[in-house]
Amino acid sequence: MIDVRPRILSVGTANPPTRFLQESLPELFQVDDPRLAGLFHSSHILSRHLYLPEPGPDGVPDETQGELLAKHLRGALEIGPQAVERCLEPLGLTVQDIDYLCVITTTGFMAPGLTAHLMKHMGFREDCSRVDVVGMGCNAALNGLNPLASWSAANPGKNALMVCVEVCSAAYVFDMTFRTAIVNSLFGDGAAAALVRSEASDAPRFAPSILGFNSQIVLPAIGAMRFDWDDSAGKFSFFLDRDIPYVVGQYAERPVDRLLSAHGLRRRHIKHWLVHSGGKKVIDAIQYNVGITEHDVRHTVSVLRDFGNLSSASVLFSYRRLLDEGLVERGDYAVWMTMGPGSTIETCLTRW
């Protein structure tokens, strides 16, 4: 009997054209407080790609909530299509070949959602099924990949496309508070796309099969990561609790152990780890509590260094770097881990 499973056949990534050195941003943001400026001088982030406005009359960038939403859509329609094209081109596909489209974002809310805008902008078929995953945060790539894999399994031979589009600079508030400075110093803009199709595991194409998922939500920490309305700023603002690394670290083993146990595996069987680039302390907490090495998180760390935290797109950037490295072999297992609001830890098991 032929084993037919959903497989990740290709991935593509994209960023805004303008790259900023991390050390240059305090001056651009007119950050005079040394405590706030110090957030931009950590060695774990060297640069980020951002959509930033021209400084206002007082030298500080400022945008209304309406302008931020317009920037989100404008940026999404620039980097989203680039990621899609870079994903589809190696397979000889176009958007006309896509049967199911899932678009993920947390950095902009709109109706109709980004699926409709991308379909119109890029020329998808009008009968393409679609779903928008909005507001789930940095963990959401795996929240989108899960139903994408299920749809693919139910529709073998058809093409399912997931696109993570995060214009994190559309969630920036410049009010010189510690809360917003943390966000402004961490998140970057980026998009990533992945093509999933169910086909025989012995197919000649070298691509990993999606074997399963496991989730962990930490409800007592529901407010530790949140995107809510800031009355004083008159716009939405993101909040990160300083205890997030400890919350994530305390619960990280649980979904990993359940995921591996369901497939009769132990951690020593896992060759590759694809962990969300949430921040240095978060990565350290995952590394320590799950018992993985610096080598295991090398792509996680390098994506954070070169791009900052790209929210839901981050884990696909790490996956792209793993593929480019050229060290994956047939039979290798990989565990994917993403963390975000909820507080939530998502895991996925794949095998080449």
Active site residues: 138
> Which SS3 state, helix, strand or coil, does residue 260 take?
helix
- With 0-12 / 13-18 / 19 or more C-beta atoms within 10 angstroms meaning exposed / middle / buried, residue 141 is buried
Separation of alpha carbons 328 and 323, rounded Å? 7
Cβ partners under 8 Å of residue 304, min gap 6: 44, 45, 277, 279, 280, 283, 314
Handedness of CA 343, 290, 311, 9 (dihedral sign): negative
DSSP secondary structure letters along 144-206:
HHHHHHHHHHHSTT--EEEEEEEEGGGG---S--HHHHHHHHHB-EEEEEEEEEEEETTSSS-
DSSP secondary structure letters along 119-139:
HHHHT--TT-EEEEEES--TT
E strand or H helix at 13: strand 4-14
Cis bond before residue 215 (omega within 30° of 0): no
